[in-house]
Amino acid sequence: MFCFQCQETAQCTGCTRVGVCGKSATTATLQDLLIYATKGLCEITTKLRQEKQDISRKLNQFICENLFITITNANFDDEIIIKRITDTLNYKQELFAKLQNKDNLSPVALWTTDDENTYLVKGATIGVLATENEDIRSLRELITYGLKGMAAYNKHANALGKFNDEIDSFLQATLAKTVDDNLSGEELTALALETGAFGVKVMALLDEANTSRYGNPEITSVDIGVRNNPAILISGHDLRDLEMLLEQTQGTGVDVYTHSEMLPAHYYPFFKKYKNFAGNYGNAWWKQKEEFLSFNGPILLTTNCLVPPKAEYKDRIYTTGVVGFAGCKHIPGEIGETKDFSAIIEHAKKCPPPTQIETGSIVGGFAHNQVLALADKVVEAVKSGAIKKFVVMAGCDGRQLARNYYTDFAKALPQDTVILTAGCAKYKYNKLNLGDIGGIPRVLDAGQCNDSYSLALIALKLKEVFGLDDINELPIAYNIAWYEQKAVIVLLALLYLGVKNIKLGPTFPAFLSPNVAKVLVDNFGISGINSVEEDIKSLI
């Protein structure tokens, strides 16, 4: 195996024997083959579109799910991945038959087999390292990871009934281009930036999907203690799954708590009507081994990030959607279908209530609508000098000790600075009680990682209010933490919006070759993190 798609990759170069995430070599190879088969399928769907033939929504969704399954910590279940490879090849055959012009198809599009036993042998020949030129490899992977993030956000929008054919067409055409040997480094670089443009579009689509169904996030205080009822913990990013779970738990005596990236659900007006929607339990994804144990009840994983579960609580893990782990119960249901959560609810009834690990509350809900409602106050605070600088500290949290930098950085920021955050990176400082500036909290949480879009909208609005020509003239600094591939699409989206001088940490992506990293440094001023003192000095 060779995988270097996430920040925790071994020695900051690549996982080669087993994933630091717990992914086995077999699973990694099967995931590589799933991506390879999907790239071939996308070449054919793209050609069919050129022939003005229709591609069904079902197929668009299937492609997005294939990508989403391979995001770090989403799916470890070989059986599921093998079935998806087979389904992908079957789709490919079906569409190939419809193709009028079958000339000039790549070997990737033409590859097929009806023998599942050959998957591992084939998978070992088509992985990341099969592209020999390290710069082409780097750009191909940068684009592929960005598209994985895009696919995840698109899937969430689709689950709420929002679709955009332009996004699906771009995603598939671009994925196919990552196996096109005729594309130069310059062309692939341009394609990576165009991927960022579609990153903005997909986050806008998801924002519309979320807010049209659940209302605009508003300032909300979320309890982090526990009640005395049996309960279900829901993790991941899928708000539609949460909605169905809350509907089905009404009147059962079972409470529902959010974990990690599901915390921002509390900020939406829609979910406040559910009396059993108890609060948030725990922290970012990587602390789940302790927190799932002490939660005592069943846990529903709706998307990444699942850490291979300990035996002590494995029987309490339920997966749904793209998530999978051999031996854990999977709750089925396609987009548009109502899932049946009765098994997990019955399970919860037999469990003791959660053990309290924290008390108090955290405040969030500062997505674009809420911040713009406070715009006068914010602009006044900037003009008066009460707020000197905003620091965008969005992104992901992770296990590495080096990430304590972000806690230290938040603590060391001067009192006249405000942190704008989104994603699970917030858990490094959202319980520090950093105070407020004239009633404006010093940590403004917009929501999940996709709500980084909100932060971009806020920046664009401030640019307009202050009458500036360039987003980079604003008193905003960017110190972003990344972990998995959704962060890649967020980063590409910010670059597309023209944001410069982003600090990216805790380490630079291993998949950026020195030359590709140089392009990002030279054109966008991206840099890594240094000591807290040095970075406070350079950013503030």
* Listed ranges 412-420, 467-475, 479-487, 518-526: which one lies at the site for ligand FSO (CB under 6 A): 479-487
Q: Which does 135 bind (CB under 5 to 8 A by kind): ligand SF4, ligand FSO, none?
A: none
How many whole angstroms separate alpha carbon 477 and alpha carbon 540?
Answer: 7
Q: What is the CA radius of gyration of the chain?
A: 23
In sequence order, the 6+-apart residues with CB closer than 8 A to the CB of 159 are: 209, 238, 240, 335
* 3-class DSSP assignment, residue 318: strand
Task: Tell me the closest approach of the beta carbon of residue 508 to ligand SF4, in angstroms.
Answer: 14
Report the partner that residue 4 touches, choosing among ligand FSO, ligand SF4, none (CB closer than 5 to 8 A by kind): ligand SF4
User: Taking contact as CB under 6 A, which single stretch among the options 14-22, 59-67, 86-94, 168-176 is the one that binds ligand SF4?
Assistant: 14-22
Q: Is 487 in the site for ligand FSO (CB under 6 A)?
A: yes
431, two tokens: 């319980």
The encoded tokens of residue 241 equal 């799954």
Residue the block writes with tokens 């909605």:
243
- Structure tokens belonging to residue 157: 């929008």
Residue from 19, 40, 146, 321 binding ligand SF4 (CB under 6 A): 19
The size of the interface with ligand SF4 (CB under 6 A), counted in residues, is 13
Site pattern 56..75 for ligand SF4 (x: CB under 6 A): ----------------x---
Closest-CA residue to 19 (of 30, 7, 10, 29)? 10
Nearer to ligand FSO, 80 or 487 (CB): 487
Coil vs helix vs strand at 481: strand
Task: Confirm or reject binding of residue 484 to ligand FSO (CB under 6 A).
Answer: yes
Q: Is 76 in the site for ligand FSO (CB under 6 A)?
A: no
Distance CA 139, CA 135 (A): 6
Q: How far is the CB of 118 from ligand FSO (least distance, A)?
A: 33
519 binds, among ligand FSO, ligand SF4, none (CB under 5 to 8 A by kind): none
- Supply the minimum distance, in Å, between the C-beta of residue 423 and ligand FSO: 4
> Please, what is the minimum distance in Å from the beta carbon of residue 75 to ligand SF4?
11
Q: Which of 424, 437, 489, 502 binds ligand FSO (CB under 6 A)?
A: 424
Do residues 232 and 301 make contact, with C-beta atoms less than 8 angstroms apart?
Answer: no
* 261 contact choice in ligand FSO, ligand SF4, none (CB below 5 to 8 Å, kind-dependent): ligand FSO
> Which of 238, 261, 291, 445 contacts ligand FSO by CB under 6 A?
261
Size of the site for ligand FSO (CB under 6 A): 15
- State the DSSP code for 85: H
List the x/- string, 20-59, binding to ligand SF4 by CB under 6 A: xx-x----x-------------------------------
Question: Smallest distance from the beta carbon of 234 to ligand FSO, in angstroms?
Answer: 13
Q: Which is nearer to ligand FSO, 73 or 417 (CB)?
A: 73
Which residue in 143, 144, 132, 165 sits closest to 61, CA to CA?
Answer: 165
Query: Are the beta carbons of 405 and 480 closer than 8 angstroms?
Result: no
Residues paired with 419 in a beta bridge: 391, 443
Residue-by-residue DSSP string for 235-302: ESS-HHHHHHHHHHHTTTT-EEEE-GGGGGGGGSGGGGG-TTEEEE-S-SGGGHHHHHHHH-S-EEE-
Q: Which residues bind ligand FSO (CB under 6 A)?
A: 237, 260-261, 285, 304-305, 396, 423-424, 448-449, 483-484, 486-487
